[in-house]
């Protein structure tokens, strides 16, 4: 396998097989002599097997003699139930240590070779999907600068994600999924409010226990979101039995994929990725991952140069037991605030609250220095605390009460303009010098910031729109802002009101008197001169009915006169035709009897 380095591999493997054979013999001997203590036997076998990698490692480094194995098995007389349970736990720990030791015996030149060695999802090379893969490869290969930025960002997180993937025995293609989801940007936020490297929407994040408060967003937490994403992907694989379908469900949602599968099954169609009906984004989702996989497998083929990322952890988690400012934590760790936030993007405020038992990620070489500097530091660790709003107020009023600037209050708590802060909201404010208490867990877990728009100044008045009125014309009439009039009436600034439609404005007292005067004078909110010009429109209902009846009578009489005139014209025409025919008969010499018959 390319990039795999095992010094004196043949000699080491022979020694390793010999050690495992001895371990198996020891297990059989202990099982025969101590059939009543299986847990002790299993623990001893695990311990013996755990020694094998160490022996293989020493053999690989040139050891001449096989190390002696010391087997220790408890007798049934001394093994109690609690001992058995403890030994079971120890066996599990030793097995985990064995797996870790096996991993450490495999040395790779860089992280990319380790990724290649763990590929396990079949390539998407069918004719139905190959064009999508080629399009994705073409897109990445023509943007080397984008790929370089993306891979450089990944060097902070890729080793940890790969460790978690391999610990669960999953294919290493899953460690590349953040390339497609977020380009390894932990601050990424989509239009659907999906956030973090793994792009969890709020509801899915809550389902997988990712804490989302005003102080912390677990969807951006590198450790927590990676665990949640792998849990979710494992669940989807168990549900659909195929990694390509599991990844389609990760993008589309399991409900949508289940419906697509049910449709194909009902129509006797295949149910693989290429044959399912799915949105365009999902159709291109796995091809993008396949393209990333192809580029990492052979970057030179596509003219891409991957950065050197060592096969070594980049960061180390450090627990936080006291509230601490982000700036101070970065200074004690000897890194910039930007570097600190890149590793800890979940913390949204300038202070990290200890009540939620957080762990900060620090560069591997800086973690120990941070712990030492934190122990030696004697000053206050946090300069911020929380304040619960007792009554709805504006940021200006609260800033005055708390003795700080309105700009600081708005900036720290992300409060937009023209907004009121509702009672019960939690704000982050400067901590008094004498206050060294941590923020309580109740506040840290349940804090919320409820905002409400500032009501407009003046009194709310409903008016009738004039013909051709727009928010601009109404604003000119009452000396208001056209934008505000449009906002109050949920329309665009240049849009027209329907004639006589009700509109809402907020007027000062002097304009309220004018509006009331217009309503009394015209009864339809129009000026007097306009009402006089359209006097006929304000006729009473009885007058309008009488006018309509008279008009109908006139129309009926006219219709009758027209019918009578038409009838008279028809009679005259018939008379002329009769006389003309009678004259014709006399000319031809017809008899009197013929003429009388013709006349009839």
Active site residues: 181
180, 292, 472 from 281: Cα distances, Å: 11, 16, 43
From the CA atom positions of the chain, what is the Rg in Å? 43
Q: Which two tokens stand for residue 114?
A: 């380790």
Q: Residue with structure tokens 């469900």? A: 249
Q: Which two tokens stand for residue 488?
A: 């109050």
Report the alpha-carbon distance of residue 560 to residue 452 in Å, rounded: 71
For residue 421, give the 3-state DSSP assignment.
strand
* Phi and psi, residue 235, nearest 5°: -60, -45
Report the alpha-carbon distance of residue 582 to residue 596 in Å, rounded: 9
Contact, 19 vs 56, CB < 8 A?
Answer: yes
For residue 456, give the 3-state DSSP assignment.
coil
Contact, 354 vs 381, CB < 8 A?
Answer: no
**Per-residue DSSP letters for 326-340?**
HHHHHHHHTS-HHHH
Contact, 218 vs 346, CB < 8 A?
Answer: yes
Report the alpha-carbon distance of residue 336 to residue 340 in Å, rounded: 6
Where would I find the H helices in 77-187?
Answer: 81-104, 111-117, 130-141, 144-154, 158-167, 177-181
Q: Which two tokens stand for residue 354?
A: 């200890």
Q: E strands, 512-558, where? A: none
Closest CA to 277 of 262, 299, 289, 296: 262
Report the alpha-carbon distance of residue 25 to residue 16 in Å, rounded: 14
- Going by C-beta distance under 8 Å and a sequence separation of 6 or more, which residues neighbour residue 124? 130, 133, 244, 273, 286, 287, 290
Output the CA angle 358-364-366, nearest 5 degrees: 85
- Going by C-beta distance under 8 Å and a sequence separation of 6 or more, which residues neighbour residue 346? 216, 217, 218, 219, 220, 221, 222, 224
**Per-residue DSSP letters for 187-253?**
T-B-TT--BTTTTB-HHHHHHTT--B-SSBBGGG-HHHHHHHHHHHHHHHHHHHS-HHHHHHHHHH-
464, 480, 493 from 470: Cα distances, Å: 12, 13, 7
Report the alpha-carbon distance of residue 365 to residue 358 in Å, rounded: 20
Report the alpha-carbon distance of residue 271 to residue 45 in Å, rounded: 46
Report the alpha-carbon distance of residue 172 to residue 240 in Å, rounded: 19
Report the alpha-carbon distance of residue 590 to residue 446 in Å, rounded: 121
How many beta carbons lie within 10 A of that of residue 441, not counting itself? 13
């Amino acid at each position: 396998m390319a990039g795999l380095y095992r010094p004196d591999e043949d000699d080491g493997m022979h020694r390793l097989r010999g050690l495992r054979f001895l371990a198996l013999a020891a297990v059989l001997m202990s099982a025969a002599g101590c059939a009543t203590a299986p847990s002790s036997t299993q623990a001893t076998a695990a311990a013996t097997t755990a020694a094998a990698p160490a022996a293989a490692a020493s053999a690989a480094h040139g050891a001449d003699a096989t190390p002696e194995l010391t087997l220790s098995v408890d007798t049934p007389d001394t093994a109690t139930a609690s001992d058995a349970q403890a030994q079971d736990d120890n066996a599990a720990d030793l097995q985990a240590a064995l797996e870790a030791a096996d991993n450490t015996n495999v040395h790779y030149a860089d992280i990319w070779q380790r990724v290649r060695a763990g590929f396990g999802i079949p390539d998407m090379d069918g004719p139905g999907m190959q064009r999508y893969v080629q399009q994705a490869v073409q897109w990445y290969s023509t943007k080397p600068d984008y790929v370089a930025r993306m891979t450089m960002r990944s060097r902070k997180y890729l080793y940890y994600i790969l460790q978690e993937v391999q610990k669960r025995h999953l294919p290493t293609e899953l460690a590349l999924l953040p390339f497609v989801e977020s380009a390894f940007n932990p601050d990424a936020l989509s239009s659907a409010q999906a956030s973090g490297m793994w792009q969890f929407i709020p509801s899915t994040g809550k389902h997988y226990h990712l804490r989302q408060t005003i102080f912390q967003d677990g969807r951006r937490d590198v450790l927590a979101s990676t665990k949640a994403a792998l849990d979710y992907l494992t669940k989807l694989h168990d549900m659909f039995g195929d990694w390509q379908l599991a990844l389609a469900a990760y993008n589309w949602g399991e409900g949508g994929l289940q419906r697509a599968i049910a449709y194909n099954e009902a129509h006797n169609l295949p149910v693989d990725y290429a044959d399912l009906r799915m949105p365009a984004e999902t159709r291109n989702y796995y091809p993008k991952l396949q393209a990333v996989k192809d580029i990492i497998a052979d970057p030179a083929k596509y003219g891409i140069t991957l950065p050197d990322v060592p096969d070594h952890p980049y960061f180390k988690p450090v627990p936080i037991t006291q509230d601490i400012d982000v700036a101070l934590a970065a200074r004690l760790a000897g890194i910039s605030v930007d570097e600190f936030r890149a590793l800890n993007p979940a913390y949204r405020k300038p202070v990290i609250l200890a009540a939620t038992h957080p762990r900060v990620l620090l560069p591997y070489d800086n973690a120990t220095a941070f712990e030492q500097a934190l122990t030696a530091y004697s000053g206050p660790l946090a300069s911020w605390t929380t304040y619960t709003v007792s009554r709805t107020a504006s940021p200006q009023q609260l800033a005055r009460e708390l003795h700080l600037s309105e700009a600081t209050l708005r900036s720290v708590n992300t409060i937009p303009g023209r907004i009121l802060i509702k009672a019960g909201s939690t704000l982050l404010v400067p901590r008094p010098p004498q206050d060294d208490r941590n923020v309580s867990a109740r506040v840290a877990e349940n804090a919320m910031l409820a905002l409400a728009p500032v009501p407009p100044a003046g009194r709310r008045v409903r008016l009738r729109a004039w013909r051709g009125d727009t928010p601009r014309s109404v604003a000119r009439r009452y000396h208001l802002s056209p934008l505000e009039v449009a906002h109050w009436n949920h329309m665009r600034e240049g849009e027209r009101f329907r004639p006589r439609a009700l509109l809402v404005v907020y007027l000062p007292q002097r304009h309220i008197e004018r509006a009331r005067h217009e309503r009394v004078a015209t009864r339809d909110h129009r000026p007097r001169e306009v009402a006089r010009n359209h006097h006929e429109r304000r006729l009473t209902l009885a007058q309008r009915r009488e006018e309509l009846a008279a008009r109908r009578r006139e129309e009926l009489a006219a219709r009758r006169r027209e019918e009578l005139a038409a009838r008279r014209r028809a009679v005259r025409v018939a008379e002329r035709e009769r006389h003309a025919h009678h004259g014709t008969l006399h000319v031809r010499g017809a008899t009197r009897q013929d003429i009388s018959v013709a006349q009839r």
